[in-house]
Amino acid sequence: MSKSSAVFAINTKDMRPIYVTQPHLPPLDEFVPYLEKIWNSRVLTNGGPFHQRFEKALGEYLGVDHVALFSNGTLALVTALQALRITGEVITTPYSFVATAHSLLWNGIKPVFVDIDPRTFNLDPGQVEAAITPQTTAIMPVHCYGNPCDVEAMQRIADNYNLKLIYDSAHAFGVRDAGGSILRHGDLSVLSFHATKVFNTFEGGAIVCPDAKTKQRIDHLKNFGFIDEVTVVAPGINGKMSELNAAFGILQLDYIDQALERRKEIASMYREMLASVKGIRCAEGARDSVANYSYFPILVEDAYPLKRDELYYELRECNVYARRYFYPLISDFPMYRGLPSSQPDRLPVAHDIASRILCLPIYPGLDADQIYRIVDIIEGASR
């Protein structure tokens, strides 16, 4: 069915709400045997058999050597900073979900925001270098929307100034560059398996670590700092993933490749159809890398007759819930806006992108009619 013939049917027939995402779930009956095993064993958490199996399976799938599972990505970020004993100032991006910077505050670290690259929406390496002070101990970039950062430039800066490099890779599950998993870069890489992510375990997260020793420290830190029954070596937290989430993750791995494939198809449908809409620019994908199509960000340019917010509300009127990730910038939230690095004149690109961005719905269950319906609204509003 061509787009134009579909449009008619859509507007009259289907007005069900379409959200920015919908979690992928495997058939329920396939999860029941896992539940039975948990019920029989009564091992619910604290590094049980599913936890161990999932860590191994995940490492194999992602092509990385050491993975430490967490109950969510935020606690994984907080713990990653603890594991590397980061203090002082950390350079990071204002263009992300607020958890990126919150993980610094939870560790008593001062975030230093620097501007982003207008093409990738990731930290601009040139700006990172200029923001380094004697207090800087680390850089925390984000692979925003799953598009890889300039990992080589980041590593060069980290090496030159003896800084640690922790990637917030919450969006980057399954993303690869020419040398393999994007998660192998830096000192640590942190994943989120939240319900809204490409790969979900309801809630969940992980730290990808370079060696067994670092993983062991992280495993202690996520278990209150215990190294045995009676010895606590650090003020650790409870960041453990439960057996339920781990078992679900094992099952989800069976479906992830087909989910990624469907996301790719949806992204190319959007790209093709939106190419002719004046003033709508699809964000460029990553070059030379395998993407995961975790988000579908568009920029509402001046040539489009509506402002970004007008289009956002127009879509909502039609029951389409696109999202303005990442507006407002983290640097504009009350607990950050007093920082010198939060001043808007220091972050012109991030402010511009945050005022134009709109993430369109993308998830494996989104069907062609729904995509036509969304494009039709965007196109219609431009006439």
Least distance from ligand T4K to the Cβ atom of residue 134, Å: 28
Name the residue nearer to ligand T4K (CB basis): 27 or 340. Answer: 27
Name the residue nearer to ligand T4K (CB basis): 99 or 274. Answer: 99
Name the residue nearer to ligand T4K (CB basis): 138 or 277. Answer: 138
Q: Distances in Å between the alpha carbon of 332 and those of 90, 295, 327, 350, 360?
A: 18, 23, 9, 11, 23
Alpha carbons 212 and 148: distance in angstroms, whole number: 25
Name the residue nearer to ligand T4K (CB basis): 62 or 277. Answer: 62
Closest CA to 21 of 358, 307, 323: 323
Least distance from ligand T4K to the Cβ atom of residue 302, Å: 27
Least distance from ligand T4K to the Cβ atom of residue 171, Å: 6
Least distance from ligand T4K to the Cβ atom of residue 36, Å: 24
Name the residue nearer to ligand T4K (CB basis): 97 or 372. Answer: 97
Alpha carbons 200 and 218: distance in angstroms, whole number: 22
The Cβ-side half-sphere exposure at 228, using a 13 Å CA radius, reads 2
Residue 13, token pair as written in the block: 């027939």
List residues near ligand T4K by CB under 6 A: 19-23, 72-74, 96-97, 99-100, 142, 168, 170-171, 192, 194-196, 205, 321, 325
Least distance from ligand T4K to the Cβ atom of residue 298, Å: 16
Name the residue nearer to ligand T4K (CB basis): 7 or 138. Answer: 138
Q: Spell out the residues 6+ positions from residue 187 whose beta carbon is closer than 8 angstroms to its own.
A: 84, 164, 165, 166, 210
Name the residue nearer to ligand T4K (CB basis): 196 or 289. Answer: 196
DSSP for 33-45?
HHHHHHHHH---S
Residue 303, token pair as written in the block: 């040539």
| Sheet hosting strand 110-113, strand order edge to edge | 66-70, 205-209, 188-192, 164-168, 136-140, 89-92, 110-113
Name the residue nearer to ligand T4K (CB basis): 196 or 382. Answer: 196
Give start and end residues of each alpha helix (H) in the chain: 3-13, 28-41, 49-62, 73-83, 99-105, 125-130, 151-161, 212-221, 243-253, 256-274, 308-317, 348-356, 368-381
Least distance from ligand T4K to the Cβ atom of residue 28, Å: 16
Q: Distances in Å between the alpha carbon of 31 and those of 20, 180, 256?
A: 26, 31, 15
Least distance from ligand T4K to the Cβ atom of residue 231, Å: 29
Alpha carbons 54 and 68: distance in angstroms, whole number: 10
Name the residue nearer to ligand T4K (CB basis): 304 or 312. Answer: 312
Name the residue nearer to ligand T4K (CB basis): 143 or 346. Answer: 143
Least distance from ligand T4K to the Cβ atom of residue 299, Å: 18
The residue of the chain with the least Cβ separation from ligand T4K equals: 73
Handedness of CA 22, 28, 31, 37 (dihedral sign): positive
Parallel/antiparallel/unpaired status of strands 205-209 and 357-360: unpaired
Least distance from ligand T4K to the Cβ atom of residue 71, Å: 9
Tokens 């058939």 found at: 27
Alpha carbons 295 and 20: distance in angstroms, whole number: 9
Least distance from ligand T4K to the Cβ atom of residue 77, Å: 6
